[in-house]
Structure 1
Amino acid sequence: MNLPAGTLPSLDGRTLVGVTNSPDGEVDDSTEFTYHEDDGVLWAEYSGGAIVRGRLVGTRRGDSLDFRYVHVSQDGSTSSGHCQAQLEQLPDGRLRSHEAWRWESRPGEGQSIVEERPR
């Protein structure tokens, strides 16, 4: 696919967790995302808290992410949405993602932050 490389390191193999989220969101500090990245394509598996199992898939252009997500919640419901995010590298080298998301399967939108745990 050969999308422009980011100035920040790859997400491949990194695990990020929820830090903050808007009230309409389901991700929290017990939700873990395991990312993969190859040639501008990214994907992740996630679970924890209200989420039993989730997947996301999208693209990375520079340090901007654009992806769709889908998951199954603890109550058995399924949800899907769209997210655009901007990566930031923290002073200690960890990556943080500032996300603007909206549900496509139901009403609601918000902003969240996910980041790598301190080492």
Structure 2
Amino acid sequence: MSVFNFHNKTFYLVENSKNGKVNADTVFNYQQEDNIVTANYSGGTVKHGKIIATLDNDILHMLYQCVTLENELKAGKATAKISFTKSNKMLLKLNRQWLTGKLEKGVSEYIEK
């Protein structure tokens, strides 16, 4: 059993690379069943997005896709290192890469609400 439980958890952006599409107004709503983690996200620059991931100890292996406010269809992959803050909130540090467009790489950080 994992020490990380994403079921019914909400996350917000802390920091994002310049080439990222989400912003501080984007809300991520996660669900979890066994080691499968999913999320829907929207708000800010994103009309609608989805994440599917597998949980392996303290790592999430993620695939994500979204439609932006400009009707741009984006997709990417990421590896997220999971940790806890001093206030016992989950923190995700992503190394990510777009699978569409210029295939740019970046980093993002998210915190549990």
TM-score by length of 2: 0.95
Distance apart, 1:63 and its partner CA: 1.2
Confirm whether residue 28 of structure 1 aligns to residue 58 of structure 2.
no
Total equivalences in the alignment: 112
Query: Could you report, residue by residue, the CA deviation over 1:64-88 in whole angstroms, capped at 9, with x for unpaired residues?
Result: 0001000000001100000100111
Query: Could you report, residue by residue, the CA deviation over 1:9-50 in whole angstroms, capped at 9, with x for unpaired residues?
Result: 301110000110000101111111101111101100001111
Equivalence for 1:76: 71
Secondary structure of the corresponding residue to residue 88 of structure 2:
coil
- Unpaired runs of at least 5, structure 2: none
RMSD in angstroms over aligned alpha carbons? 0.9
Equivalence for 1:111: 107
- Cα distance in 1 for partners of 2:48, 2:84 equals 27
TM-score by length of 1: 0.90
- Unpaired runs of at least 5, structure 1: none
Equivalence for 2:90: 95
Q: Percent identity?
A: 24
**For 1:41, which of 32, 36, 41 is the aligned residue?**
36
- Cα distance in 2 for partners of 1:55, 1:86 equals 19
Confirm whether residue 51 of structure 1 aligns to residue 46 of structure 2.
yes
